[in-house]
Structure formats: structure tokens, C-alpha cells
Structure 1
Amino acid sequence: MESEGPINSNRPIRVVIIGAGASGLLMAYKLQRNFDDIELQIYEKNPDVGGTWYENKYPGCACDNPSHTYVWSFDPNPNWTATYASSAEILAYFKSFQFKHNLQSKTLLNHTLSSATWLSSYSQWQLEIQDTLNSNTKQDTCDILINATGVLNDWKWPDIPGLHSFSGPLVHTAAWDEKLDIKNKHVGLIGNGSSGMQILPAILPEVSKCTIFIREPTWVLPFGPDGTVPREFSNKEREAFAAGDGGDLHSYRRWLEHRMNRAFPIFIGDSPFQKGVRDICEAHMRDVLQDEYLESKIIPEWAVGCRRLTPGVGYLEALKDEKTKAVFGQIAKITGNGCVTTDGVEHPVDVLVCATGFDTSFIPKFRLVGSHGHELADQWGNEPRSYLGVAAAGFPNYFMLIGPNSPVGNGPLLIAIEAQADYICRIITRIQQHEIKSIKVRTEAVDDFIAHKDQFMERTVWQDYCRSWYKRGAADGKITALWPGSTLHYIECLRDVRYEDYHVEYIGNRFSYLGNGMTRLELTEDADLATYIRKRDDGPILGSKFMCTKAKAELNSGSALEKIG
């Protein structure tokens, strides 16, 4: 049936977002800002929004990206207290974002998606939702399903025999018990990743002793990924950030983002940047440790950046502290008293803390059944294979934020999530205005992308022999988490939708969107119908000259570097 409205008229559609963490809230905001005739619902498993920042409350928990880069590009926060914000401050930022844009009215807390099945005959997703407060189950449907659960959302215990036979308090950093009493206790800490680095110096003043179990070495940076040294902001700095039109803060933010984007060459193997950073980090670690045994155990042979870059504030000093005992190697088993290492020695502790990370398989915790009747868990059992980090072959009208091979360690993260949300919005616009009932990425497009990604990764430090969640915890696994390029590279890639990579099904005639032969503008009373008449050609550059023209404009108006700091 032909549309009776003007060209590109909307059809009402329903969108469901799973997860009200940072990315879910952003996606909801983008839909609310950009669309009419969309019904929106967010389901969140936790009692509050914030995702990983709601869940991670362990002592010392903070972001490993500079705080003023960990905001949406359009929503600065002049009130960060330090260059690396605490989890409590970050949670407050995203809660403020939620209330500022009234997203709480679209959010159902304590609701978990248990299954989603694509119904081809209706071109909709059939959802089964669990209300975790009263154990009720309800059904829902949507035209478009967006998975905003992220990658660090499913914490895991270490796979060590006897773990739950430990007789004392046992806690994971991502499920921290705020009532846990560690004062004057002997604490055992398993893990030296990002959370392990943060928690050790934070708890050391309280405990009587800490035995830390370290399986592998790791690089400890004296600064963040952009070179920023961790410190608190002075009252004068924060007042300047909050004053007037925010010019000081805007300049500082641009300076930070510029530095983070310039740092990408560190991840290219044997690059001068990689060598220079490695020399700095190694010199720093040796200078602080000044202990040949610790240096031989802590300083890696693999490249800086093979594992996630983390500023290790106070970590090396804490390792040297008289309260700390570092035990290197594998834990063979856990008893009621503590940990037994492979040499047969038992290390008794009062409290056992597992800083052992998350399930990073990228497989959703809910059952997802696509148009072919297959489950995503089976399709991704050996390797998560996404298309540009946002789509999966065989799953129509299903999109992801921070899916496999997103730029989670390539540079600034939140601007990349914005690029994903904008990309999804472009496709939703097409679905809504072009009478499209389903759109799914082609398998051959995914295969080609994965092949390109794998080839690119051979030149990076990420393929070094180190155990990393970028490779699903394997030292020699495929790199499934990271984008094959910089964050800026990713943003440009997502600027346009390659519809040739998608299979599109229409409700009727593919040209029915042309409607009644008129435009919305013509049907608007007193509208200017000659907006295309101009005094000069001031339109946007549409072709390959776009970036060159933009760069020249920056140079002609003064040095870009001078303008940002």
C-alpha cells in the first residue's frame, strides 16, 4: 500500500534497549532527541542505573581514562575532583544525565531480559522479561532491539579448585560487600589487572597484611593513556572550569582528547612511540621497585599495551610495603584456610578478594534467537564475530553498543559510543521512513570485516603473547575486543552506513516511501520553499575534499594546537 503522506513520512516503531549503563542511557537520549513516533523502553537488571559504575564499588575503584574525557562530547562536567574520577563520581555523572533528560520515565529497573526471538512473520522481536523483585515473567515485543549491556557486565570467579571451600569472607571486586570488615585482617588478593592495581594501595592502610597472588607480570604506568599524571584538581582549577561560558574547560577537554588520539601509535609493534613509552615505563618501574627479584617478576617481556593500559597509582609502592607479600605463579587449589600454590605451599588468609575480571565472551546473558532459528551463543561459541562492533549476521533489527571489535582500548571511549549510537540512529531513520520491515548484515560482510581485522592485528602489540581480556583471557587467542585502528578511524568508518553490506526487506514496494509526491516542507503553512537559493556556494563538501578542507580551515584560523592549549 502506498503512503498517503509526504516523502520520508514516519511509521510508528517500538525500540527496546537492554541495559541502563552509560551506553544505554546515551542511546535512549539519542532516540529521544532525534525521533518522533518512536515508543521507547529500557530494561535494567540492577536496582539503579549506571551499569558497571553501579556494580563496581570496591576500595580505590576509579576510571583508567582521564575524567574529563569520560563524559559525553556535549555534556561536560566541571566538577570532577581528580584527573581520574572515582566510581562514585562517575555513577553520579550518569545518574545526573538520566534525570536531566527524564530518561527514568523510560526505564524499568530490576527487569532482566531472559530471551529474545525474532518472529519473521511479524518482523518483530518477541521478548521474555523477568521482574526480579517479584519473580514475575512478562512478554513484550519491539521492532528494534538494542543490546547496551556492554562487555564488562558479567563478573566471574577464578577457575580454581576449592574456591568456595574457603571458610572466611570471599568477595569479588565487582560484587563488593560494603559491609565487609577488613580492618586488621590478613587479606589475600588474587589478580594484578586494573582492579587489582587499584584495590591494593587502597586497602593496605587498613589491613594487617596482604598476600597478593600474581600469575603474570604487567606494565605499571606512571601516567594515564594520554600522559596525564593522576592528581586532584585544585579549587581554583574547578572554579575556572565552571566559570563563564566554560571556555577553560572546553580548551582543557580538547587538549586531553587530542593527546589521547595522538597516542594510538603506541599500539603499533616496533613503532618509535611504542619503544619510547616502553623505555619510560621500564625505567619508572625499576626506579620505584629497586629490587632485582620483584623487577624480574613484575616487568613483562611483551609490549606495553598488550594488556589494557592502567595508571598504577601507588601500586608498585604497595608491592614493596612491609605489609605486602607477593606470591608469584599459579594457585593450585583453595582450602578452608587460604591458597595453595603449585609448589605445595599453603598461604593462610582471613579474607579472600578476587580481582579476576569479567566474562568477555561478548555472548549476551539472555537467549537470542535470530531469523535462521540459531542462537547467538552457538554462533559465537568459538569467536564473537560482529560487523563493525554494532551488528551480527542473522539477527535482523538487532544492534549492539560496545560489541566485539569496538574501540575499547584504542583511544577515547565515550566518543566512540556516541559514533555507534549515531550510526544506529541513521539505520533506524531508514527503517522508519522507508517502509523497511527488517535489515540484517550480510554474512559475507562480517566475514570480510573479520578477515581485515585479523590481518591488521598482526602489526599491533595486542597480538603479543600476553593474557588479556582483549583475547577472551587467552595469551595466544584472536583479538576479539578491539577495533583495527584508532578511535578517530572508527568514527570516520561509522560516519556513513554501507547499505550494500545489509540485506533489506520492505513492507511493500521499496519506493512506497516516496508517498504522495510532496515534501513535508510543502505541507507546512507559510514555510519558505526557496531555501536552496544562496548568495554563494557555502554548502558542505560532499566528496573526498571534506577532510582536507576542514584541516585547511583550521590552519587558516590559527594553529589547531594553539587553540586547544
Structure 2
Amino acid sequence: MADFIVPSTNRPESDAQHRLHGPIHAQRHVRIICVGAGASGLLMAYKLQRHFNNFSLTVYEKNPEVSGTWWENRYPGCACDVPSHNYTWSFEPKVDWSAVYASSKEIFSYFNDFARKYGLHKYVKTEHQVSGAYWNHEKGGYDVHIRDLQKGQDVRDHCDILVNASGILNNWAWPAIPGLDKYKGTLLHTANWDDKIDLKGRHVGLIGNGSSGIQVLPTIQPHVSKVTTFIREPTWVSPVQGLEQHVFSDQERLEFATKPQALVDYRKNVERGLNGQFGIFLKGTTTNNDTETYFRQQMSEKLSNPYLEERLIPNWHVGCRRLTPGVGYLESLGKDNVQVVYGEINEITERGCKCDDGNEYPVDILICATGFNTSFKPRFPVIGPSGKNLQDVWAQEATSYFGLAAADFPNYLIFLGPNCPIGNGPVLSAIECQADYMLKLIDRFQTHNISQFAPKAEAVADFIAHKDLFMSKTVWHDPCRSWYKAAGPNGKITALWPGSTLHYIEALMELRLDDWEVKYNGNRFAWLGNGYSQTELDESADWAYYIRDHDDDEPFSRGRKLQLINKSGTVQSNLGVSFSGMDKSKEGEAKL
């Protein structure tokens, strides 16, 4: 065996000096803190555990349980608007989903079971809320301040790399309506639901017709004496053709459980359909025009009310706001015990809502389905080496590098940051490729004597300029009120990626280190070490592995490599797989 010295993590030398004692690419110890144990945080823990050695990880979670938004959201009708079999990790299917659109309880169980199966709870400290992260100029990395919510104590920790996986749909917000504190009835928010409240036989007020409100109304309508729903603007609501709600039979679930290929085929077909939606978001495509015609027809048929049709069917393009499969929502608006009040709520009174029509609408219980603070600013101060707080830097507009990192904030990574594909297609697929990209950065940090890495400010500026130009040609640019935008109906689009989810996956396949500012501890080539290779450390490895009888190298060109990854030639045709049942508009896509 080769005579070498493995670098010690306790050696009182610089990282560059450590590396001179070990082989090339020696893996130094790396300390990682992850904020949030929702889907993203759990995936990060899984992938670090699977792919890395010599690391330590702590995931701080403010809730008593893991799974993030799927533990928090328990309101009536709460479900995911992504087909359940594809709201899973690509490598971790679930065979027994109850329906195409599963409840939040089922989704919580999926992620909680995922954490239990792979032993991820050992990394997680629940009821620990991160309150701040501050760059340490002496050691590098971040000093992280945490509040132990159970003990009421402050805790300090330190990390080389900080990963913010707290998400964007968990900082719920009351509506900015005057007088909310005056209301003397029962006040509820969909994201802070009180299971003890019984709605049966009560007169319920419902504010909002976004995703949450659309799910709540048809669920509570059969059980309450009356619902007065307050709607201030139109929105496109319709199941996407070909993927309406469907409860799986025992036979279907048995087939998924006993015939793995049947489940794989089903998931692939749904995923192809999700990826086939992108033409909907491009102005002037056949897909967008035909889908809008279909939606308009469906909404008219289900509303069957000229007054509601005029007010609830938008005059902006389909897709400007997030598409919501409103199972039973439009039909509920026409029920005898449902009153629709269209317009603005001027104030909340002791009894209910006073609207711009001059009328006051008393209700026993007032439900605010008014969503979340989606500004992308971190929920705690993040102080970089310059002393600037990312909360202040992003106060007017959040600008990131590919939704992953911020300029001038080194060693800080973000899941679902600004301008990532949160609404462009299958979101969990995007989260997976974000995690993979982060692992590549962490691997580079661990095997080289890097002290800091952050995207260059000019790279971020160029990305934002490209994004803004692209967005002007999409339906998201229409003047609708959407959480995709930073500042009102005409604001910049800060939530979405300038392309499809597949486009994002391919954009993140390789590190573009020319976009990153990298700083080293000492000589940047100290990672070359003591002259020994990693192979020579492994007595069981073939020390002549490159001697072959034929050329079996993987492709070096990007195009050939991608053909291997995407299994080019194995599918007869993807044309016509979009959910609307219509062919993609090649002409429209070519224009963009």
C-alpha cells in the first residue's frame, strides 16, 4: 500500500497545508446547516447521506414534524394541484395514492415515510427556528442563530455552507384589509387552520379565489348553512383535459403495486404531459390559444350564470396566474347556499365584511384563503462578508443566479429561489436538479481548498436581463395579479424560470464555474496534494483501469451525452402529449 498521510480535520494548519499531506482531491470535513425539513430539506439530507463522506449536517425545522408545508396546511380540501404519482421524487414512487390529486395528509405521509425509510430524522432538530446567519470573517462560513422553541433558549451553531430550504409557500399572511382585528367572530387562515373549529351549520365567509380558496369552497359547501365568498378578480379555473380528478380503484392500486412497469409507464406518461404544457405559457402558440378556448368553454358550462361568467372568466391569457384544477369549485358557486360577492372588501367590521358595493356581509366564521408572503426575501437576516443583509438587498426585487444563490453572499445556497421553475412544469423534478447542482458545488468545495464561492454579480445581472427579455414574450407578462410577480400586475416576474422545467434541468447539468467568484485558502493548487492518486489509496481498485480492449468512453460532447441521458430514440413520438390533447405549436415555439 502507498505510504501517505490522510489529512486530519483537527490539524492546526490551513486547509492548503493540510492538503499537502494527502492525496489529490482529499475530502476535507464539511459542515452544512440546512434551514427547513420540508421536501427540499429532506431531499438534501438524503442526497448528502447517499453520495458524501466526511460531512456533518444539521437540519433546523421550526415545526414539531418534518414535511414543511404539507404538515402545516390542513384546511378542508387541502390537496396538491400536481398529479400525486408525479408529486414524488423520481426515484421514490408511491403505489397506493388514493386519487390523482391527493390530500395534504397523504402527501405529508409520503415525505414523513421517506424520512423514516432513509433514517433522515437523525439530521433534523424540530422546533428549532433559525433567526439569523452571520458571516464569520475569521473561520469563513456562517454563524447561525437558532431559537429552541421548546425550551425557549437561543442556540448558536456554525457551518461552512448554509442551505436555505425554507421554501416560499410557508410564510402565511393575513390580508391587508383594515379592521381585521375588530372582527368578533371566528377568524381562520387556511395556512394556520384550527381543527377544533366546527363549520357545520354555520354561516362562513371565504376571502380569496386562489388555489386554497378554490379547494376550500366545494369541500365546506355541503356542510355549512351558507357560504359568502368574496372574490375581487377573475381567474382561470378548470381541470386540464385528460387529467381530471379520479379516485384509484383497489384493482388499479394493486396493479401499480404488483406491476412496477405499469406504474413507471403511468408516471412517465403523466410527466410527459406535464412537460408538454410549456407551450401554454407562450403567447401566440396554438397550444395557448386552443387551451384558452377550451378553458373558456368549460368555465361557461360549469358556471352557467352570465353574471358570474362576465366577472370570473379573465380577459388575460391562460397561465398568467398559476393554473388550478378546480375540482367542483365552479359548480359550487351556483349552489343555493353560496353567495358570491364580487369586488373589493373595504374593511372588516365586528360582524363581517363591508365591500365596495356599500353593503356589509355578516358571517359567523371568516376564512382568509389569502396565501403567503412570496417576496423571496429570507425570513431571517443573512449577513454576508460585506455586512449587507440579503433581506435589504432583495427588498425591492429578488435577483438570484438560476434560483440557487445570491451575488455577494458566499457559501449560501437556496432551494426554490427567485426565477426557478416553480410553475413551469413538474416542480419536484426541478428541486432534484437543484439538489444535484448543490452537491456538485459542495463536492468542489470539499475536494479543493476553496474558502468561498458565490455567483458573480455580472452573471446575475446578465441572467436577469435575459430573463426579463424572455418573459416579455410569455403569458406571465400579462397584467394579471399574481404571486409570480414582485410588484403588482405590471411588476417583474420573479418566481419563474425563463423556459420549461426540462430546459432548467439541462441548464443545471454542469457547473458553469466561469459564472462564480471562487476564493481559495492559500495556493489554489494545494488540492494536488502529496502526489498520490485516490486510486492508489484503494487496494481493491484496478490500478490499470484505463487499459481496455475497446473504446468505452462516455461521450464528451454535450449533444451526445444528452442523447444518452434522455434515452433518445426510445420513444416513438412525444407530439400531442400535452394535457389539452392538442399538438404542440412548433411554429409558436420557433418564434420564441
Same fold (TM over 0.5): yes
In structure 2, what is the Cα distance between the partners aligned to 1:145 and 1:548?
Answer: 31
Structure 1 residues 89, 397: CA separation in 2 closer, same or farther (over 3 Å shift)?
same
Q: Verify the 8 A CA contact 2:187 2:367 in the aligned structure 1.
A: yes
Q: Verify the 8 A CA contact 1:554 1:560 in the aligned structure 2.
A: no
Q: Verify the 8 A CA contact 2:400 2:419 in the aligned structure 1.
A: yes
For 1:426, the equivalent position in structure 2 comes to 440
For 1:9, the equivalent position in structure 2 comes to 26
Q: Verify the 8 A CA contact 1:410 1:485 in the aligned structure 2.
A: yes
2:572 to 551, 555, 559: 559
How is 1:40-59 mapped onto 2 (pairs within 5 angstroms)? 40-59=57-76
Q: In structure 1, list runs of 5 or more residues that go unmatched.
A: none
How is 1:320-331 mapped onto 2 (pairs within 5 angstroms)? 320-331=334-345
How is 1:145-160 mapped onto 2 (pairs within 5 angstroms)? 145-160=162-177
For 1:235, the equivalent position in structure 2 comes to 250
How is 1:125-204 mapped onto 2 (pairs within 5 angstroms)? 125-204=142-221
1:207 to 224, 240, 253: 224
Q: Verify the 8 A CA contact 2:397 2:486 in the aligned structure 1.
A: no
1:249 to 255, 263, 266: 263
Q: Verify the 8 A CA contact 2:343 2:357 in the aligned structure 1.
A: no
For 2:503, the equivalent position in structure 1 comes to 489
- Counterpart of 2:150 in 1: which secondary structure? coil
For 1:305, the equivalent position in structure 2 comes to 319
For 1:385, the equivalent position in structure 2 comes to 399
Q: Verify the 8 A CA contact 1:467 1:473 in the aligned structure 2.
A: no
Deviations 1:401-431 (A, max 9, x none): 0011110100111010000000000000000
1:405 to 416, 419, 437: 419
- How far does residue 155 in structure 1 lie from its aligned partner after superposition? 0.4
Deviations 1:478-521 (A, max 9, x none): 10000000000000111111111111111121111111112121
Deviations 1:294-346 (A, max 9, x none): 10011000011000011010001100001100000100001010000012210
- How far does residue 253 in structure 1 lie from its aligned partner after superposition? 0.6
1:70 to 74, 78, 87: 87
In structure 2, what is the Cα distance between the partners aligned to 1:64 and 1:542?
Answer: 39
Structure 1 residues 366, 531: CA separation in 2 closer, same or farther (over 3 Å shift)?
same
- How far does residue 541 in structure 1 lie from its aligned partner after superposition? 1.1
Letter aligned with residue 511 of structure 1: F
Letter aligned with residue 147 of structure 1: N
In structure 1, what is the Cα distance between the partners aligned to 2:295 and 2:172?
Answer: 29
Q: Verify the 8 A CA contact 1:394 1:441 in the aligned structure 2.
A: yes
2:390 to 371, 376, 399: 376
For 1:101, the equivalent position in structure 2 comes to 118
- How far does residue 76 in structure 1 lie from its aligned partner after superposition? 0.3
Q: Does 1:528 align with 2:546?
A: no
1:452 to 466, 472, 478: 466
**Residue range with higher mean Cα deviation, 301-310 or 510-519:** 510-519
Structure 1 residues 497, 548: CA separation in 2 closer, same or farther (over 3 Å shift)?
closer
- How far does residue 560 in structure 1 lie from its aligned partner after superposition? 6.0
Q: Verify the 8 A CA contact 2:554 2:561 in the aligned structure 1.
A: no
In structure 2, what is the Cα distance between the partners aligned to 1:558 and 1:358?
Answer: 40
- Counterpart of 1:427 in 2: which secondary structure? helix
For 1:545, the equivalent position in structure 2 comes to 559
**Residue range with higher mean Cα deviation, 514-523 or 346-355:** 514-523
- How far does residue 524 in structure 1 lie from its aligned partner after superposition? 1.6
Letter aligned with residue 184 of structure 2: S
In structure 1, what is the Cα distance between the partners aligned to 2:536 and 2:432?
Answer: 33
Q: Verify the 8 A CA contact 2:344 2:355 in the aligned structure 1.
A: yes
- Counterpart of 1:469 in 2: which secondary structure? coil
In structure 1, what is the Cα distance between the partners aligned to 2:256 and 2:20?
Answer: 51
- Counterpart of 1:198 in 2: which secondary structure? helix
Q: Verify the 8 A CA contact 2:440 2:511 in the aligned structure 1.
A: yes
TM-score normalised to structure 1 length: 0.97
For 1:23, the equivalent position in structure 2 comes to 40
Q: Verify the 8 A CA contact 1:223 1:230 in the aligned structure 2.
A: no
- Counterpart of 1:260 in 2: which secondary structure? helix
For 1:61, the equivalent position in structure 2 comes to 78
Structure 1 residues 40, 199: CA separation in 2 closer, same or farther (over 3 Å shift)?
same
For 1:333, the equivalent position in structure 2 comes to 347
- Counterpart of 1:238 in 2: which secondary structure? helix
- How far does residue 287 in structure 1 lie from its aligned partner after superposition? 1.1
- Counterpart of 2:502 in 1: which secondary structure? helix
In structure 1, what is the Cα distance between the partners aligned to 2:377 and 2:108?
Answer: 25
Q: Verify the 8 A CA contact 1:168 1:350 in the aligned structure 2.
A: yes
In structure 2, what is the Cα distance between the partners aligned to 1:501 and 1:523?
Answer: 34
Structure 1 residues 396, 13: CA separation in 2 closer, same or farther (over 3 Å shift)?
same
- How far does residue 3 in structure 1 lie from its aligned partner after superposition? 2.3
For 1:216, the equivalent position in structure 2 comes to 233
- How far does residue 545 in structure 1 lie from its aligned partner after superposition? 3.2
Deviations 1:31-59 (A, max 9, x none): 11111000110000001011111111000
2:528 to 505, 508, 514: 514
In structure 1, what is the Cα distance between the partners aligned to 2:566 and 2:327?
Answer: 41
- How far does residue 553 in structure 1 lie from its aligned partner after superposition? 6.0
- How far does residue 526 in structure 1 lie from its aligned partner after superposition? 4.0
Letter aligned with residue 234 of structure 1: S
In structure 1, what is the Cα distance between the partners aligned to 2:561 and 2:304?
Answer: 49
Regions of 4+ moved over 6 Å: none
Structure 1 residues 558, 403: CA separation in 2 closer, same or farther (over 3 Å shift)?
closer
Q: Verify the 8 A CA contact 1:389 1:400 in the aligned structure 2.
A: yes
- Counterpart of 1:470 in 2: which secondary structure? coil
Letter aligned with residue 69 of structure 2: T
- How far does residue 549 in structure 1 lie from its aligned partner after superposition? 4.2
Q: Verify the 8 A CA contact 1:465 1:476 in the aligned structure 2.
A: yes
TM-score normalised to structure 2 length: 0.92
Instruction: Name the Cα RMSD after superposition.
Output: 1.6
**Residue range with higher mean Cα deviation, 465-474 or 234-243:** 465-474
- How far does residue 472 in structure 1 lie from its aligned partner after superposition? 3.6
Structure 1 residues 314, 143: CA separation in 2 closer, same or farther (over 3 Å shift)?
same
In structure 1, what is the Cα distance between the partners aligned to 2:47 and 2:477?
Answer: 35
For 2:296, the equivalent position in structure 1 comes to 282
In structure 2, what is the Cα distance between the partners aligned to 1:223 and 1:313?
Answer: 10
